[in-house]
Copies of this chain bind each other. A is one copy, B any other.
């Protein structure tokens, strides 16, 4: 006979995270709700409180997961770009921009939402990993670009981050398409300017 289906979830925390990610993908940030995630996981509305510190806790957990996907996307784009240092950095940026475009909900949680706990250790670990990927690709150019207190990677990060966000809410109201990756590459080349250090 079947074992009686367990009254409790096997791993409700995980189920809630996955349900929340689905909701986020389907309905954007507004579509992700503690009660809806609970319902989708087949559980009552107050169950999540035992696994997360309220809504911010769930959002933070999802943001950590999103950062892991983000890192994986940048890694893959870099590795597909071949050996040239600039091509690798540009590949990472294209992974960045594509992720921002294709997973706007995740991106919002990762970088924008004020409801995620930026001090959470898991989140810091995940975001730090992503940061190091970009930093690593900047290293070949660091000698020429570094200021005393503001390394080049901050400039690259700012450029790609701003470019991604303005893609969503362009101040003149016309969201542009992201067929402009070559154009971004030009901007990146201007910022890097001097090429890899000899």
Contacts and interface: CB of A to CB of B under 8 A. Distances in A.
Contacts of A17: none
Consensus secondary structure, chain A interface: helix
A186 B127 contact: no
Interface string A88-119: 00000000000000000000001110100011
Contacts of A157: 162, 166, 171
- Number of this chain's copies in the complex: 2
A173 B150 CA distance: 17
Contacts of A191: 155, 159, 187, 190-191
24 contacts: A29-B114, A111-B169, A111-B171, A112-B112, A119-B173, A123-B173, A124-B173, A127-B172, A128-B171, A128-B172, A131-B172, A149-B183, A150-B180, A155-B159, A155-B190, A155-B191, A158-B160, A158-B166, A159-B191, A161-B161, A161-B165, A162-B165, A187-B191, A190-B191
